[in-house]
A and B are shown apart, each in its own frame.
Chain A
Amino acid sequence: KAGVTQTPRYLIKTRGQQVTLSCSPISGHRSVSWYQQTPGQGLQFLFEYFSETQRNKGNFPGRFSGRQFSNSRSEMNVSTLELGDSALYLCASKRDSSNEKLFFGSGTQLSVL
């Protein structure tokens, strides 16, 4: 059974640009959540999607957005990139909306220059 797949693995962008990250969950998983990990702040929750609906959102500015498609694949978008957005972005999936084990992808390492 394939795991959670995130693409691309690495990204380099400049300030002011926008970026879209992709996440394909484990087959049969309908919940996808996104996280930002930095050395200073650690791992922080961005948002969760279930059945194409955003169920929960962390304390991030509106420049961070996401969506989920009917096949449960999810994308995350960051507009008007800032230097502080440099981080490892992780997504995780689980079967449904209950609080069960999370399965993480390997992440997208974003560098903003």
Chain B
Amino acid sequence: KQEVTQIPAALSVPEGENLVLNCSFTDSAIYNLQWFRQDPGKGLTSLLLIQSSQREQTSGRLNASLDKSSGRSTLYIAASQPGDSATYLCAVTPPSMNRDDKIIFGKGTRLHILP
């Protein structure tokens, strides 16, 4: 059974610092991994999607990596800004489309960038 863990649950860093968010999963048989951002009381915004065959994806100041052998993904945020404050969730999609498989989300890391 796939389990997705995000540690730490909360993180505070000064503005301008580079930071790394972690996502661990127990079953390496995945189709893709997605990183999302969620602002309080709002829905999720997709940030990056890494296919199973890829090692990393980049978008602006964000870089996500995937290491299936170790069951880990990291989200790197460069030159953090107060607007980056949000909860970041990762989600793992299973390889098959049968009715028993479903997307699994981590519980997120609540990030606070200190001005």
Chain A residues at the B interface, C-beta cutoff of 8 Å = 4, 6, 33, 35, 42-45, 55-58, 88, 90, 92, 97, 99-107, 109
B99→A102 contact, CB < 8 A: no
Other A-B contacts than A42-B107, A102-B46, A106-B42, 9 sampled, CB-CB below 8 A, are: A4-B43, A35-B105, A43-B44, A43-B91, A45-B104, A55-B97, A56-B101, A102-B34, A107-B41
Q: Residue on A with the closest CB to B89?
A: A43
Q: If the complex has contacts A55-B99, A104-B43, are A99 and B31 also in contact, measured as CB distance less than 8 A?
A: yes
Chain B residues at the A interface, C-beta cutoff of 8 Å = 31-32, 34, 36, 41-46, 49, 89, 91, 93, 97, 99, 101-108
Q: Residue on B with the closest CB to A91?
A: B43
Q: List 20 A-B contacts (CB under 8 A).
A: A42-B105, A42-B106, A43-B89, A43-B105, A45-B102, A56-B101, A57-B99, A88-B41, A99-B31, A100-B49, A101-B46, A101-B49, A104-B36, A104-B43, A104-B44, A104-B45, A104-B46, A106-B43, A107-B42, A109-B41
